[in-house]
Amino acid sequence: MPRPTYATYDDYIARPGAGTPPDDIEQRLTDASRRLDRFLISAVYDVGTDGAPIDADVAEAFAVATCEIARSELRADDGDDGRTVSVTAGPVSMTRSGPDLVLAGEQLPNRALDVLGSLPCDVFRLGVITGACSW
């Protein structure tokens, strides 16, 4: 079965704050799709002959998650881990950094996890995403 790329150039540039994508964005989206595949290795969902999810909500969530994974990789290339938040208000300064979830040997950005976690549980039959779909 073919291994689909879950997001396109158009999906990527449609994301808020995408900016100008790098020349290799298509390859980055393919790589991000493979990371998502590894993360969801035991998830069972309906796919078409092209290997892509046939449920529209799942396809959209996978596209958004793929774009967020690619964006996270781009930030990492620029030295920004995307997980550290610093806020300053007058004399008060606060910095928070938290780890992304690691599952099946894959670490995904929190924004990708958020969109996957918003899927209804009944789109997956077994595997990583079960129960209340809590991460």
| Domain chopping of the chain, boundaries | 9-123
Q: What pLDDT score does 76 carry?
A: 66
d(CA 74, CA 42): 27
Q: What pLDDT score does 104 carry?
A: 44
- Mean confidence (pLDDT) of the chain: 78
Contacts 24+ apart (CB under 8 A), 75-84: 82/109, 83/109, 83/110
At residue 25 the predicted structure's pLDDT band, cuts being 50, 70 and 90, is very high
pLDDT tens digit sequence for 41-85: 878 889 999 999 999 999 999 999 999 999 988 876 555 455 555
Whether residue 83 contacts residue 110, with contact meaning beta carbons closer than 8 Å, is answered with yes
pTM: 0.72
